[in-house]
Structure 1
Amino acid sequence: MNNSQFDAGSINEIKPGKTKRVDAANGKRMLVCNVDGEFYAVDDRCTHEDSSLYLGCLKGERIHCSLHGGEFSVKTGAALAEPAEIALQTYPVRIEDGRILISC
């Protein structure tokens, strides 16, 4: 498996309870989420209807899809509310010198 890592920005850019959409070098669009000071990265596209999750809202660890109401855990990727049934892809995140680094 060929992993690469990219810098998704400063931890100061994403306040707790907020998200940021980022484009990885490989063309993947991801959503970085701040859950009480912990950062998580998931695919930006809902697995139900391919809608951007950036348009939804983050409550706790749950990201809500604005299109049909599906919900996912940003910690595990698990689908938590119908109509979503397929988990989101998650990506390892680490913080280094105040920067959010994502492996993909």
Structure 2
Amino acid sequence: MPQWVDACSTDEIDEEDVMRWDHGGKTYALYHSPDGEFFCTDGLCTHENVHLAGGLVMDYVIECPKHNGQFDYRTGAAKRAPVCVNLKTYPAKAEDGRVLVQVD
């Protein structure tokens, strides 16, 4: 059953930025959108398993630091080659100054 897990403080991620979060033997990427919302995806690019936390965030897009493939981090949709497989996304929310993520 999915559960909400405390990932970090809301202050740890600047707007339009990404942060690596490791939990339960898995790597995730946490995002703070320009409108103040928080999002979470798998932390590795679907193209060559590079950590997305080293990438560039622009509006609602994360650009992989290795080959510049892009994903919409709100939906996980692959947006620019060479990526063609979508990222898995996870529900995330801010509550009492903390970022919570719903994981399996």
Post-superposition Cα deviations, 1:61-95, rounded to whole Å, max 9, x if no partner, equal 10000111110001000000001000001000122
Residue of structure 2 in register with 1:60 after alignment = 59
Residue of structure 1 in register with 2:33 after alignment = 35
**Distance (Å, rounded) in 2 between the aligned partners of 1:82 and 1:100:** 31
2:28 aligned partner, one-letter code: M
2:92 aligned partner, one-letter code: V
Q: Gaps spanning 5+ residues in structure 2: where? A: none
Q: Gaps spanning 5+ residues in structure 1: where? A: none
- Of all paired residues, the percent bearing the same amino acid is 37
Shift of 1:17: 1.2
Are the counterparts in 1 of residues 20 and 27 from structure 2 also a CA contact under 8 Å?
A: yes
Aligned Cα root-mean-square deviation (Å): 0.9
Moved over 4 A (4+): none
Q: Which runs of structure 2 are paired with 1:1-104 in the superposition (5 Å)?
A: 2-24=1-23, 26-36=24-34, 37-104=36-103
Are the counterparts in 1 of residues 37 and 93 from structure 2 also a CA contact under 8 Å?
A: no
Are the counterparts in 1 of residues 57 and 63 from structure 2 also a CA contact under 8 Å?
A: yes
Shift of 1:7: 0.7
**Distance (Å, rounded) in 1 between the aligned partners of 2:28 and 2:52:** 9
